[in-house]
Amino acid sequence: MTKPRDFDALKAMVETGEIDTVLVCFVDMQGRLMGKRFHGVNFIKYSFEETHCCNYLLATDIEMSTPDGYVSTSWQSGYGDYVMKPDLSTIRPVPWLEATALVLCDVLDHHTKEAVSHSPRAVLKKQISSLGELGFEAKMATELEFFLFEESFDYIRKSGFKDLKPISGYNEDYHIFQTTKEEGVMRPIRNHLFEAGLPIENTKGEAEAGQEELNIRYSSALDCADHHSIAKHAIKEIAWQNGHAATFLPKWDKDRVGSSSHIHQSIWKNGTSAFYEKSAKHGMSKVMKYYMAGLIKYAPDYTYFLAPNINSYKRFSKGTFAPTKTVWSIDNRTAGFRLCGEGTEGVRAECRIGGSDLNPYLAQAVMLAAGIKGIQEKMDLSPATTGDVYNDTKATNIPQTLRAATEKLRNSSFLREALGEDVVDHYVRAAEWEQEEFDRVVTDWEIERGFERA
């Protein structure tokens, strides 16, 4: 595997001409890479220390519009600058683009040079630090599910997003023959990301026509979020290069299953899993039970960060492997949380609630915060649920709409304490704006249903 380059190696590659472009990027509220393309010579001489961007970039919606109501920035304050501070430990080649490298940045206040509290990387770093104060380190892994389509992004957009055709004609879950037909896209995804330094494990067909899954080996929480964001970006670019479109929209068709992003998590101490106790039932240590109890108790509070868009909630429905209840089970895919690796050193918690549109930094951060709370308060873990959890009438429901999740977030004293009042208010405003924009729209469904019959 080609490991991420260090700065000295990058300088040498720029000087020889092997690298002539450096993507200097940060991750926005939606989990996308934003930034600039630097000439390699300029970057290694000057911009490796810092560059700047408009502070509206952490207060926009998915369309890049500038809603009002944010405290951090506005038309009234004039939309000033943030500092983009390259984290030189994240330098890596971008093998699917010619002579290109990439570096991720932390976002700092232009005047104080302190981290911008609501920037996704800062939100996660704060929780990693809080966990570190308890003597633990988090290890995470995310699964990326998405759909590939026959046509390109441009063709689909110009066609009004109508008559979408997945790249395959039938359910391809674990299907080797069908996924062989898709290797023109999936093989470069695996190999290019591997060469970029991501610990790629595998790809597979998922449980619908044209649905794919990419699995990346577990790593530290921050590395995991970095890997996820880079991989998601790469999948879109590599699909585009091959004349296809890839979507991470959680539910693009009402009659097909949606796409998730399951998050596997465990915490470690001195190189050993703090979740594992050989003599304990299921191999679950007390620390793991406390952590999982926190995850479950506060799941409604943090659901917004697992399902941040209107469309996210269309995925939650019975019989689709998308959970609707905040309970845990042992190797049972109908529950919101699943115990994986039962009785082994690999025992871990899998959160199955998140959709493919989540921001990995924010999602991991809020779950770490919930787990930390569980450990601090030594919360009791309820017994595992068995059977079809969809029909468990006693289990707590996941918020079923963005509006409901927003209210849970707004009123969460737990998250206000863990993340900070300013961070919660910032993302409440993001959620409100998404709802306001949708509420203004007259949908095709409304017109078709009521045009003649209303």
How confident is the model over 199-221, as a mean pLDDT?
Answer: 95
Q: Tell me the mean pLDDT in the region 92-98.
A: 96
Q: How far is the CA of 101 from the CAs of 14, 98, 200, in angstroms?
A: 10, 9, 19
Homologous superfamily of the 7-115 domain (CATH): Glutamine synthetase, N-terminal domain (3.10.20.70)
Query: What six digits make up the tokens of 48?
Result: 């490796």
Give the pLDDT confidence score for residue 79 in this predicted structure.
75
The rounded distance, in Å, linking the Cα atoms of 37 and 28 is 17
DSSP structure string for 155-213:
HHHHTTT-S--BSSSS--TT-HHHHHHTHHHHHHHHHHHHHTT--EEEEEE-SSTTEEE
Helical residues (DSSP H) of 196-335, grouped into ranges:
221-241, 286-297, 299-306
Instruction: Answer left, alpha or beta for residue 244, where phi above 0 means left and psi between -120 and 50 means alpha.
Output: beta
73-82, 114-123, 250-259, 346-355: segment of lowest average pLDDT = 73-82
For the chain, the structural domain boundaries read: 7-115, 127-445
The pLDDT value recorded for residue 319 is 64
Q: Given its phi and psi angles, is residue 81 left (phi above 0), alpha (psi -120 to 50 degrees) or beta?
A: beta
CA distance 234 to 401: 30
Query: Could you tell me which residue, 331 or 414, shows the higher pLDDT?
Result: 414
At 241 the pLDDT is 97
**pLDDT for 29-45, tens place per residue?**
999 999 999 999 999 99
Q: Is the pLDDT of residue 278 over 70?
A: yes
64: left (phi over 0), alpha (psi -120 to 50) or beta: left
Identity of the residue numbered 52: H
Classify domain 127-445 at the CATH superfamily level.
Glutamine synthetase/guanido kinase, catalytic domain (3.30.590.10)
d(CA 409, CA 169): 40
| Whole-prediction pTM | 0.95
Predicted local distance difference test score (pLDDT) of residue 275: 96
Identify the CA nearest to 140 among candidates 215, 220, 204: 220
Instruction: Pick the closest to residue 312 from 227, 406, 449, 413 (CA basis).
Output: 406
Computed over every residue of the chain, the mean pLDDT equals: 93
Cα–Cα distance list, 436 to 158, 360, 405 (Å): 26, 24, 14
Cβ contact 364:356 at 8 Å? no
Q: Which amino acid is at 211?
A: Q
Q: What percent of the chain has a predicted confidence (pLDDT) above 90?
A: 83
pLDDT at 3 over 70: no
Residue 262 has pLDDT above 70, yes or no: yes
Q: β-pairing, 219-220 with 245-247? A: unpaired
Of 321 and 442, which is predicted with more confidence? 442
Asked if the model's pLDDT at residue 202 lies above 90, the reply is yes
Q: Render the burial of 398-428: b for 16+ CB within 10 Å, e for the rest.
A: bbeebbbbbbbbbebebbbebbeeebbbbbb
CB atoms within 10 A of CB 235: 24
Q: What is the mean pLDDT of residues 87-112?
A: 96
pLDDT at position 393 over 80: no
- State how far the Cα of 193 lies from the Cα of 234, in Å rounded to an integer: 8
Rounded Cα–Cα distance for residues 331 and 384 (Å): 10
Residue range 379-391: mean pLDDT, rounded: 83
Cβ–Cβ contacts within 10 Å for residue 439, how many?
A: 9
In this model, does residue 1 exceed pLDDT 60?
Answer: no
- Name the nearest CA neighbour of 110 among 77, 135, 139, 137: 77
SS3 266: strand
Which pLDDT band holds residue 197 (cuts at 50, 70, 90)? very high
* AA letter at 276: Y
Give yes or no for a contact between 314 and 320, defined as CB atoms under 8 angstroms apart: no
pLDDT class of 76 with cuts at 50, 70, 90: confident
